[in-house]
Amino acid sequence: MKRYGFHIDTVNCSGCKTCQVACQDKNDLEPGLIWRKVIDIEGGKWHDDGGVFSEYPFAYHISMACNHCSDPLCVQSCPTQAMHVTDIGTVDIDQDKCIGCGYCTWACPYDAPRLNHRSGRMSKCDLCYDKIINNENPSCVDACPMRALDFGDIDVLREKYGDTRTIFPLASPELTEPNIIIRPHKDSLKASGRNSLIANREEL
């Protein structure tokens, strides 16, 4: 089955969250509910050489919604089968079946499903299903002022951008086979659990 995915260019992402708010507007999300998030990673350290700084930290951003994985753990785990793969290969939540148990949030390595407090059911990025069946891009992709997001058939994206599917601190792609191609920021290559962390947890 053809699968769609995102290209996430962390080299050019400035962390501005226009993508996040574009999604909120398009889907009328209540305040506090976001389907796309931007993760700020900070790493490295300052080295003070007598009032002069000879070593500086590094940072980068990862904009991520749902990765519409090819082997989605959330679909496997959902007790009601509300989480399912759609006819076009995206992963979506059937609101008539969802009981809001939140088990999918345990299963998802990428923090995609979120509780919609208004409806009591889980919700997440649907890859703008209504747009992509009309051959339009998802709203987030067309919103990015740095043009750091792309969308399409995952095989086409792989040809265009390579096949890196993870970056610190994301999970190993073997876990769920996420349909994302990442362009890693130069500093992400030196990031690790020992020297880096997520700096904006309260915003995620």
Partner 1 sequence: MEKFNISLVVFTWLTQASVGLILLRAVYMRGSTASDDKIYITGRYMLLTTFILLVTGLLFSFAHLNYPRHAYNAVNNISNSWMSREILAEIVLLFIVLAWYIITGFRIRKIPQVIPEILAGVSVIALIYLMIRTYMLPSLTELNHPSFTLSFIITPLLAGAAIIYFFLRKSEPGLAVKYKMFFGILFLFSLINHIIFRSFHNDLELYNIYNAFYLASLITSVPSLYATLKNKNVISDVIFLNLAIICDFLNRVYALTYTNPAL
Partner 2 sequence: MQEKNKDISLFRSRIDRRNFVKWSSLATGTLLGPGVLVSCDNKSQEIIDPVREERIIRTGCPAHNCGGKCLLKVYVQNGIITRIETDDRQKDDISDPQLRACIRGRSYRKRQYHPDRLKYPLVRTGERGEGKFRKISWDTAYDIMYSKISGVIEKYGNSAIHVPYGTGSYTNTNGRWPAARLMNLLGGSLGFYNSYSWACINIATPTIFGTLETGNQRQDWMNSRYILMWGWNPAEMKDGTNSDYFIRKARENGARVVCIDPRMSPSAVALADEWIPVRPGTDVAFMSAMAWVIINEKLTDNEFINKCCSGFDKSNMPEGYENEESYRDYILGTMDGIPKTPEWAEKITAVPAATIRRIAIEYASTKPAILYQGYGMQRRAYGEQVVRAGATLAAMTGNIGIPGGWASGLANQAGGGPFWTVFPSRSNPVKGTIPVYLWTEAVLRGKELGPEHGLRGADKLDNNIKLIWSVASNILVNQHGNINRTIKILKDPDLLEFIIVQDNFMTPSAKYADLVLPVCTQFETWGIEDGWKYGEEVFITPKIVEPPFETKSDYRICADLAKRFGVYDKFTEGGRDEKDWVAWFVDEIYRKTRFPDMPPFRKFAAGNAGVYTKPVYEPKIALEEFTQNPRKYPLNTPSGKIEIFSIELFKAGQPDEIPPVAKYIREWDNPFDEKAEIFPLQAMGHHYNPRVHSTHDNNEWTMNAFPQRVFINPADASERGIKDGDLVKIWNERGAMILKCRITRRIMPGVIDIPQGAWYDPDEEGVDRGGNVNILTSERWTPFARGNAQHTIMVDIEKA
Binding-residue pattern over the window 13 to 42 for partner 1, x denoting contact by CB under 8 A = --------------------------x---
Tell me the CA distances in angstroms from 146 to 13, 75, 142, 171, 189, one per residue in order: 7, 33, 10, 26, 22
- Exactly one of 146, 161, 169, 195 binds partner 1 (CB under 8 A); that residue is 169
How far is 149 from 198, CA to CA, in rounded Å? 21
- Exactly one of 1, 2, 32, 194 binds partner 2 (CB under 8 A); that residue is 32
Cβ 195 vs Cβ 174: under 8 Å: no
CB 179, min distance to partner 1, A: 17
Is residue 193 within the footprint of partner 2 (CB under 8 A)?
no
Site for partner 2 in 110-139 (CB under 8 A): 139
Tell me the CA distances in angstroms from 141 to 6, 71, 149, one per residue in order: 9, 23, 5
Query: Comparing C-alpha atoms, which of 195, 180, 121 is closest to residue 149?
Result: 180
What is the binding site for partner 2 (CB under 8 A)?
Answer: 11-18, 20-22, 24-28, 30-32, 34, 42-46, 48-49, 51-54, 56-57, 59-61, 139, 142-148, 185, 199-200, 202-203
